[in-house]
Amino acid sequence: MGYRIPHALATHQVSIGPGDLLVIATDGILEDHVQDIDFAAPAMAIAEHILDAYSRESDDALVLAARHRGVSS
């Protein structure tokens, strides 16, 4: 991101509930990784699979996968 970060960033709120999955990937991950997510798998397995199958050889890559395990409010 660094030198290309926008001057003004917009914020958005998204409601999540128990069982919902959040996946964040950097630009070092190919964009079509979303088509191959096994949503029933554990979050760690999802992140590892995306890194193994979709990371670019020419870039660094990071994937965060987290599942909401709490209760709705």
pLDDT tens digits, one per residue of 22-61: 999 998 998 888 888 999 999 999 999 999 999 988 899 9
Residue 73 has what pLDDT? 58
Structure tokens at 49: 């699979």
At residue 30, the 3 state secondary structure works out as coil
Residue 72 has what pLDDT? 59
Residue 2 has what pLDDT? 63
Q: Find the DSSP H helices in the chain.
A: 43-54
Q: Evaluate if residue 70 carries a pLDDT over 90.
A: no
Averaged pLDDT for residues 7-27:
89
Where in the chain does DSSP place strands (E)?
Answer: 21-25, 63-67
- Predicted model pTM: 0.77
Angle, CA 7 vertex, CA 29 and CA 16 arms, to 5°: 55
CA gap 19, 21 in Å, rounded = 6
DSSP 2: G
